[in-house]
Amino acid sequence: MLRRALGVLLVSTVLGGCAAATLSFPNPGKPLEVPAWEYRPEGAGPFPAVVLLHGCHGVSASNHEWARWFRDQGYVALIVDSWGARDIGRGCDADTPELPPTERFDDVVGALRFLHGRSYVDRARIGAIGWSNGGVYAIAVINGPSLERARRRGVTLPEPGFRASVGVHPGGCFSLVNELVTRPLLVLMGDADDWTIPGPCVEMVANMRRRGADATIVLYPGAYHYFDVVGQPLAYLPEVGNRNKPGECCGATVGYDPAAAADARRRVAEFFGYHLRHR
């Protein structure tokens, strides 16, 4: 039986005392400082870098664990805290006001601008990875129409932009099914995910591939949302908003899947290794 307790959700626990630099950078679209954590390899660099975008539960222990893993792989890892910048707690509850999408998009632009100002970062080799709510923004920052809409608002990514991007159980694929990424994209999802259901992401990737995009999606059999969160018990979260359950409004299943998590980590290493390190 699934445990019906949000308290077991490991992803919502922010690590204290992490071996990371705490900093902030400006959002280019409005007068707002965005908190962040930076994990940096030893040495002068320049290193490739990855921007990490949290899900609706905010910056998590899992985000920090991924960031340490990227650092150990030789990347500068920058975790962007969009919720902390706006005093949002858990943003997953159905009654939480929705943040305008331009704001998180602009946070990512600000993160890229920040990294371009670091002498130890190779600005030509920067990627993005996002989970759940953050996953759609990891996709948007390499999506041609999204970038054009931002330009019309006066917000532009510094060249050469993001080299490649990964979305892990991303939300919002339904909004991008008829659009086109201009840089390599990898999407990783559980085929049993009932929160960010895979169908729209499968359709999005198929449409993009037909138009020539370098886009790939991997579905893990029987895996749920947060399949990559080490130690996350199989649980049903009744409080979280879920657009796929309009009659019920809320509720989703989460749980760690060791086999899926290991394969996802391997694929991310190979994907960013190829696009950010060896080209």
User: How large a percentage of the chain has pLDDT more than 90?
Assistant: 78
- Residue 10, pLDDT > 70, answer no
Domain at 16-223+259-274, CATH from 3.30.390.30, 1.10.10.10, 3.40.640.10, 3.40.50.1820: 3.40.50.1820
DSSP 274: I
The tokens for 249 are 């409004």
**Secondary structure of residue 24 in the 3-state scheme:** strand
Domain ranges of the chain: 16-223+259-274
58: left (phi over 0), alpha (psi -120 to 50) or beta: left
Q: What is the pLDDT of residue 140?
A: 97
pLDDT tens by residue, 90-101: 767 766 667 888
Q: What is the pLDDT of residue 14?
A: 41
How much is the pTM? 0.91
Kindly indicate the confidence band of residue 245, based on its pLDDT and cuts at 50, 70 and 90.
confident
**CB 79, CB 159: distance < 8 Å:** no
Q: What is the pLDDT of residue 279?
A: 56
Rounded Cα distance between 66 and 126, Å, is: 16
Which residue has better confidence, 105 or 101?
105
The pair phi, psi for residue 191, each rounded to 5°, is -75, -5
Number of DSSP helices (H) and strands (E) in the chain, helices first? 6, 10
